Amino acid sequence: MHITVVGTGYVGLVAGACFAETGSEVTCADLDAKKVAGLKQNILPIYEPGLDTLVERNQAQGRLQFTTDVADAVRKADVIFIAVGTPPDEDGSADLSHVLAVAETIGQNLTREAVVVTKSTVPVGTADKVRTAVARHAKFPFHIVSNPEFLKEGAAVDDFLKPDRVVLGVDSDFARTAMTELYGPFVRTGKPVLFMDIPSAEMTKYAANAMLATRISFMNEIANLCERVGANVDLVRKGIGSDSRIGSSFLFPGPGYGGSCFPKDVKALLRTSEDMGAPMKVLRAVEEANDRQKGLLFEKLHRAIGDVRGKRIAIWGLAFKAQTDDMRESPALNLIDSLLAGGATVVAHDPAAMHEAERRLGASIAFAKSNYDALTDADALVVVTDWNEYRFPDFARIKAALRHPLLVDGRNLYDPTKMAQLGFTYRSIGRGTE
Residue 359 belongs to domain spanning: 294-427
Statement to judge: residues 287 and 298 lie in one domain: no
Statement to judge: residues 78 and 95 lie in one domain: yes
215-228 per-position pLDDT tens digit: 999 999 999 999 99
pLDDT confidence of residue 433:
55
Is-contact 40 109, C-beta < 8 A? no
Q: How far is CA 184 from CA 3, 202, 325, in A?
A: 15, 21, 31
Statement to judge: residues 369 and 416 lie in one domain: yes
Q: How far is CA 224 from CA 15, 215, 304, 429, in A?
A: 39, 14, 17, 7
Say what angle helices 233-241 and 198-229 make with each other, to 10 degrees.
140
Question: What value, to the nearest 5°, has the Cα angle with vertex 293 and ends 291 and 297?
Answer: 125
Statement to judge: residues 149 and 228 lie in one domain: no
Dist CA 142 CA 135 (whole Å): 8
Is-contact 318 386, C-beta < 8 A? no
Q: Which residues are catalytic?
A: 261
Statement to judge: residues 190 and 114 lie in one domain: yes
Statement to judge: residues 245 and 312 lie in one domain: no
The answer as to whether 274 is a domain residue is yes
Domains held by the chain: number: 3
Statement to judge: residues 273 and 300 lie in one domain: no
Statement to judge: residues 174 and 230 lie in one domain: no
The answer as to whether 433 is a domain residue is no
Q: Is the dihedral of CA 4, 9, 15, 21 positive or negative?
A: positive
Dist CA 175 CA 166 (whole Å): 14
pLDDT confidence of residue 91:
72
Residues 6 or more apart whose CB falls under 8 angstroms from that of 369 comprise 349
pLDDT confidence of residue 186:
96
In order along its 434 residues, the chain shows pLDDT tens digits of 899 999 999 999 999 999 999 999 999 999 999 999 999 999 999 999 999 999 999 999 999 999 999 999 999 999 999 999 888 777 778 889 999 999 999 999 999 999 999 998 898 999 999 999 999 999 999 999 999 999 999 999 999 999 999 999 999 999 999 999 999 999 999 999 999 999 999 999 999 999 999 999 999 999 999 999 999 999 999 999 999 999 999 999 999 999 988 999 999 999 999 999 999 999 999 999 999 999 999 999 999 999 999 999 999 999 999 999 999 999 999 999 999 999 999 999 999 999 999 999 999 999 999 999 999 999 999 999 999 999 999 999 999 999 999 999 999 999 999 999 999 999 999 997 55
Dist CA 411 CA 319 (whole Å): 13
Residues facing 2 on adjacent strands: 25
**How distant is the alpha carbon of residue 320 from its chain centre?**
8
Statement to judge: residues 364 and 388 lie in one domain: yes
The answer as to whether 165 is a domain residue is yes
pLDDT confidence of residue 92:
76
pLDDT confidence of residue 305:
95
Dist CA 240 CA 217 (whole Å): 15
Statement to judge: residues 85 and 179 lie in one domain: yes
The answer as to whether 185 is a domain residue is yes
- b or e along 203-213 (b: 16 or more beta carbons within 10 Å of the residue's beta carbon)? bbbbeebbebb
The answer as to whether 434 is a domain residue is no
Phi-psi region for residue 146, left (φ > 0), alpha (ψ -120 to 50) or beta? beta
What is the pTM for the complete model shown? Answer: 0.91
Statement to judge: residues 174 and 190 lie in one domain: yes
Dist CA 25 CA 15 (whole Å): 12
Of 292, 321, 343, which marks where a domain is finished?
Answer: 292
Nearest to 408, CA basis, from 311, 331, 298: 298
Statement to judge: residues 155 and 62 lie in one domain: yes
Is 232 in a helix, a strand, or coil? coil
Residue 235: Cβ-neighbour burial (10 angstroms; 0-12, 13-18, 19+)? exposed
Q: What is the DSSP string of 308-344?
A: -TT-EEEEE--SSSTT----TT-HHHHHHHHHHHTT-
